Amino acid sequence: MDKAITIALAGNPNAGKSTVFNNMTGARQHVGNYPGVTVERKEGGCTHNGFDVKVVDLPGTYSLTAYSIEEVIARKFLIEEQPDVVVDIIDASNLERNLYLTVQLIELGVPLVLAFNMSDVAAAQGHQFDLEKLSALLGVPIIPTTGHKNKGTAELLDAAIEVAQQTKGTNPEMVRYGQEIEQAIANVVDKLEKSNKLSYSRNRWIALKLLEGDDDVASRHLSAELRPVVEQQITEVEHKLDEALPTATASHRYGLISGVCTQCVRSTIERRHSISDAIDLVATNRFLGIPVFMGLMYLVFWLTFTVGAPLMDLLDGSFGWLAGVVDGWWAPGAESALRSLLVDGIIGGVGGVVIFLPNILLLFLAIAILEDSGYMARAAFIMDRLMHKIGLHGKSFIPMLIGFGCSVPAIMATRTLDNRRDRLVTMMVVPLMSCGARLPIYALIIPAFFPGAWHAPLLWIIYVIGIVLAILSAKLLRSTVLKGESVPFLMELPPYRMPTLKGIFIHMWGRGWLYLKKAGTIILGISILLWVMTSYPKKTEFQRDYDAEIAALQTSATTELQEEGLAEIENARMAETLSYTVAGRIGHALEPVIKPMGFDWRIGTAMIGAFAAKEVFVAQMGIVFSVGEADEDSDDLRDKLKDNYTPLIGFAIMMFSLISAPCMATIAITKRESNSWMWALFQLAGLTVLAWVVTTLIYQVGLLFGLGVV
């Protein structure tokens, strides 16, 4: 008999929306994206007074103009999905600006309840509210809440359910825009009423939005016949007022808000310098700001990678143990496709991704603390000048920095960016920040080809090339595919707050779980695919008769020589097997394409394996060069490389690894975060092409200068 009710949560960013959402729904929530766009959509539910309540968290917005994708989404949801009631979370300590959204919600005519959140902060600041009067003036019930103490949640739900059951809405005509604008509205409404059957207040809203030049509303309601009327009204009114219409209407809304506030708010004490201001004296200080920022970023890195390392080893160990156990189900040496699939394909592949979980959880712990405390906004404030030069937003800095650790958490960290375009550009270029998994490749190759004094500078050059390419690509994307007016950097610097344990935990676990679940499923698929590619078709007829060679060896040589010889033969067999597989064949087939970069089929095959994870490149090179289990410290492999390739090719390999197709985990997470295969494939293709062009250029220019011959 449960009756179902949908509540939509609206509110300014930082008003405590997520906190109230968590209070309402507890653990019952689901995070996803709005269809087709990279905007997080959170849904949850609870039962209250016998009602089945569904809660939808709308994107945090300051306004409801169709100015950003978040606002369009919020508005579209309100108009099209018609929630039974909208709860507007208000930061009471910042009343005037928060009421701007409220007024727009009222104008939209949705059933509304106000949650007066942060009442504790407002009280501490010396504000006293006449809530009864405010509620009467606005025509909406108001419930005081304190989000982080979970106070007022039940009352809020009571009020929301009550409003949801009423049919009476708010008074959408509350704001009067002065004679000139009102007259223009009336003229447009007259025309609208002739062509549609909407209510007067709906038409008034449409007319107002048309006059404000709202593209979204125009695309729905501005007929060819109406267009000249609206345009004429706009010119006339703007001429009379000597002001742009959207700014004039905004002023009128603020006028009403100021009027209401003078009647309902009393400030008892003069607000003195708060703790928050004191922190900012250091945190955004002219001279200390940047060092403090760098220090904190270092701390984030340290937490993610150093503290995470033992946990990672532990997980790595467990997967190794698991592989051993599964391996034990078969007789030693027995050939079994199933065993290989389970051990090498699934456990190896999925394990390779899951072992990043500690890093990711720790990273999100750090980000959650930075975000919830309010420092993230300061970081963006400090870095914006630099990032703006690349056409990005101050907040892009943090994901790019994290990219030096690993692209996967870095791409997930782009969630802190409010603007979709900025977010996509950041996602696309993050893999150019050389991640930790590429370090083994450099560690193998640099000492193989270059003298000791060159090691550090070369490593540095590689990282710098990555950064420069990221900057150039960002600029390129910003002026082509992701063009569009740059978003003004209007960011609130909220007061510092003590983050709550619950909030941080939900933040951290929600994102970690997402990583495991979604990336896990895609990665499982790709792991199996890669396993098939590097295992099939099986070669049965070999060029050398390995078995005979082994037999001969076992009878003739000493034990020591036997072992060495056996390993050599096994590796040669593996190399031949690999060369026969799909991956090996692709490597061969790719030779003409990768030739200009100085690569042969062996490097090509290893690169395909490296798509599973960059560090796999080293192991794969070990296989193709028949040196057995290779890691980045393998001198055998270095010798082989030195014999086969020139330093120029060595450098080309590093360049290609730096730029090319990021690992599959990155592609999978880009797909998840951008909510589109298109962007994931664009990233894959774009970076691969870029890598090819840059590497070819370096190799060919190098050859010209005679660097190829040693």
Partner 1 sequence: MAATSELSASLEDYLEAIYHLVKEKQAARVKDIAERLHVKAASVTGALRALSERELVNYTPYEIVTFTRSGEAAALDVVRRHSALKDFFVKILLVDEASADSAACAMEHSVTRPLLERFVHFTQFVEDCPRAGTKWVRGFSYYCDHDSKQDNCEKCMRTNLDEVIQKKANKGAQAMTEQQLGSLKPGQKAKIVRVALADAASRRLVEMGMTVGTMVEVIKVAPLGDPVEIKLRGYHLSVRKKEAEGIYVEQAML
Ligand X SMILES: Nc1nc2c(ncn2[C@@H]2O[C@H](COP(=O)(O)OP(=O)(O)O)[C@@H](O)[C@H]2O)c(=O)[nH]1
Asked if 170 is part of the footprint of Mg ion (rule: CB under 5 A), the reply reads no
From the CB of 509, what's the least distance to ligand X, in Å? 15
Cα separation, 427 vs 346, in Å, equals 27
Asked if 121 is part of the footprint of ligand X (rule: CB under 6 A), the reply reads yes
Cα separation, 246 vs 177, in Å, equals 11
Contact status, residue 471 vs residue 648, Cβ threshold 8 Å = no
**Which partner from the list Mg ion, partner 1, ligand X, none does 135 bind, CB cut-off 5 to 8 Å by kind?**
none
Among left, alpha and beta (phi > 0; psi -120 to 50; other), residue 105 is alpha
Contacts of 324 (CB under 8 A, 6+ apart): none
C-alpha separations of 673 from 352, 377, 420, 526 in Å: 20, 22, 11, 18
**Which partner from the list ligand X, Mg ion, partner 1, none does 49 bind, CB cut-off 5 to 8 Å by kind?**
none
Q: Which is nearer to partner 1, 14 or 153 (CB)?
A: 14
**Which partner from the list Mg ion, partner 1, ligand X, none does 442 bind, CB cut-off 5 to 8 Å by kind?**
none
**Nearest of 478, 440, 442, 445 to residue 463 by alpha carbon:** 442
Q: Which is nearer to Zn ion, 94 or 407 (CB)?
A: 407
Give the H/E segment covering residue 547: helix 546-556
Structure tokens at 89: 């979370």
Contact status, residue 413 vs residue 402, Cβ threshold 8 Å = yes
From the CB of 268, what's the least distance to Zn ion, in Å? 38
From the CB of 21, what's the least distance to Mg ion, in Å? 8
**Which partner from the list partner 1, ligand X, Mg ion, none does 344 bind, CB cut-off 5 to 8 Å by kind?**
none
Cα separation, 422 vs 425, in Å, equals 5
Structure tokens at 401: 């920095």
Q: Which stretch binds partner 1 (CB under 8 A): 169-177, 228-236, 404-412, 519-527?
A: 169-177
Cα separation, 235 vs 321, in Å, equals 75
Half-sphere exposure (Cβ direction) of 675: Cα atoms closer than 13 Å: 14
Identified binder of ligand X from the candidate list 499, 510, 512, 702, rule CB under 6 A: 499
Site string for Zn ion, 384-413 (x = CB under 5 A): ----------------------xx------
Q: Which is nearer to partner 1, 114 or 648 (CB)?
A: 114
Q: Which is nearer to Zn ion, 39 or 430 (CB)?
A: 430
Structure tokens at 488: 């003004």
Asked if 29 is part of the footprint of Mg ion (rule: CB under 5 A), the reply reads no
Cα separation, 144 vs 119, in Å, equals 6
**Which partner from the list Mg ion, partner 1, Zn ion, none does 18 bind, CB cut-off 5 to 8 Å by kind?**
Mg ion
Contact status, residue 386 vs residue 417, Cβ threshold 8 Å = no
Identified binder of Zn ion from the candidate list 56, 86, 435, 448, rule CB under 5 A: 435
- State which of positions 473-512 bind partner 1 (CB under 8 A): 485-495
Asked if 437 is part of the footprint of Zn ion (rule: CB under 5 A), the reply reads yes
Contact status, residue 25 vs residue 53, Cβ threshold 8 Å = no
Give the helix ranges, DSSP H, for 265-288: 275-283
- State which of positions 277-316 bind partner 1 (CB under 8 A): 280, 284-287, 289-290
Q: Supply the Cα-derived Rg of the chain in whole angstroms.
A: 31
Nearest-CB residue for Zn ion: 435
Asked if 419 is part of the footprint of partner 1 (rule: CB under 8 A), the reply reads no
Q: Which stretch binds partner 1 (CB under 8 A): 191-199, 248-256, 607-615, 671-679?
A: 248-256
Asked if 656 is part of the footprint of partner 1 (rule: CB under 8 A), the reply reads no
- State which of positions 146-185 bind ligand X (CB under 6 A): 146-148
Q: Which stretch binds partner 1 (CB under 8 A): 25-33, 94-102, 634-642, 656-664?
A: 94-102
Q: Which is nearer to Zn ion, 172 or 409 (CB)?
A: 409
Residue with tokens 């928060």: 98
Asked if 247 is part of the footprint of partner 1 (rule: CB under 8 A), the reply reads yes
- State which of positions 187-226 bind partner 1 (CB under 8 A): 213
Q: Which is nearer to Zn ion, 145 or 407 (CB)?
A: 407
Give the H/E segment covering residue 53: strand 51-57
Sign of CA dihedral 550, 554, 555, 558: positive
Q: Which stretch binds ligand X (CB under 6 A): 14-22, 104-112, 403-411, 413-421?
A: 14-22
Asked if 254 is part of the footprint of partner 1 (rule: CB under 8 A), the reply reads yes
Q: Which stretch binds ligand X (CB under 6 A): 202-210, 341-349, 420-428, 492-500?
A: 492-500
Residue 128 CA, distance from chain mean position: 40
Asked if 514 is part of the footprint of Zn ion (rule: CB under 5 A), the reply reads no
Contacts of 318 (CB under 8 A, 6+ apart): none
C-alpha separations of 187 from 174, 190, 194, 249 in Å: 19, 5, 11, 17
Q: Which is nearer to Mg ion, 19 or 535 (CB)?
A: 19
Structure tokens at 317: 């160990």
Asked if 118 is part of the footprint of ligand X (rule: CB under 6 A), the reply reads yes
Asked if 547 is part of the footprint of partner 1 (rule: CB under 8 A), the reply reads no
- State which of positions 359-378 bind ligand X (CB under 6 A): 372
Name the burial class of residue 23, with classes exposed (0-12), middle (13-18) and buried (19+) by CB atoms within 10 angstroms of its CB: buried
Structure tokens at 533: 């590619």
- State which of positions 502-521 bind ligand X (CB under 6 A): 503
Q: What is the DSSP code string of 31-46?
A: EEE-TTSS-EEEEEEE
**Nearest of 308, 345, 343 to residue 329 by alpha carbon:** 343
Question: Mapped to the 3 state alphabet, what secondary structure does 442-468 carry?
Answer: HHHHHHHHCCHHHHHHHHHHHHHHHHH
Cα separation, 701 vs 710, in Å, equals 16
From the CB of 18, what's the least distance to Mg ion, in Å? 3
**Nearest of 207, 198, 201 to residue 107 by alpha carbon:** 201
Cα separation, 292 vs 288, in Å, equals 6
Structure tokens at 530: 């890669």
Three-state secondary structure call for residue 149: helix
Q: Which is nearer to ligand X, 506 or 575 (CB)?
A: 506
Q: Which is nearer to ligand X, 121 or 181 (CB)?
A: 121
Cα separation, 120 vs 126, in Å, equals 10
From the CB of 625, what's the least distance to Zn ion, in Å? 24
From the CB of 616, what's the least distance to Zn ion, in Å? 12
> Which pairs with CB-CB distance under 8 Å and at least 24 residues apart come from 72-81?
72/216, 73/34, 73/37, 73/39, 74/10, 75/108, 75/216, 77/8, 78/8, 78/10, 78/105, 78/108, 78/110, 79/108, 81/6, 81/8
Q: Which stretch binds ligand X (CB under 6 A): 16-24, 103-111, 237-245, 307-315?
A: 16-24
Site string for partner 1, 43-82 (x = CB under 8 A): -------------------xx-x-x---------------
Q: Which stretch binds Mg ion (CB under 5 A): 13-21, 45-53, 201-209, 216-224?
A: 13-21
Identified binder of ligand X from the candidate list 183, 276, 500, 700, rule CB under 6 A: 500
Q: Which is nearer to partner 1, 104 or 657 (CB)?
A: 104
Give the binding site for Zn ion (CB under 5 A). Answer: 406-407, 435, 437
Give the binding site for ligand X (CB under 6 A). Answer: 11, 13-19, 60, 117-118, 120-121, 146-148, 372, 497, 499-500, 503
Give the binding site for partner 1 (CB under 8 A). Answer: 62-63, 65, 67, 93-97, 100, 136-139, 171, 173-174, 179, 182, 186, 213, 243-244, 246-247, 250-251, 254-255, 280, 284-287, 289-290, 377, 380-386, 388, 485-495
Give the binding site for Mg ion (CB under 5 A). Answer: 18
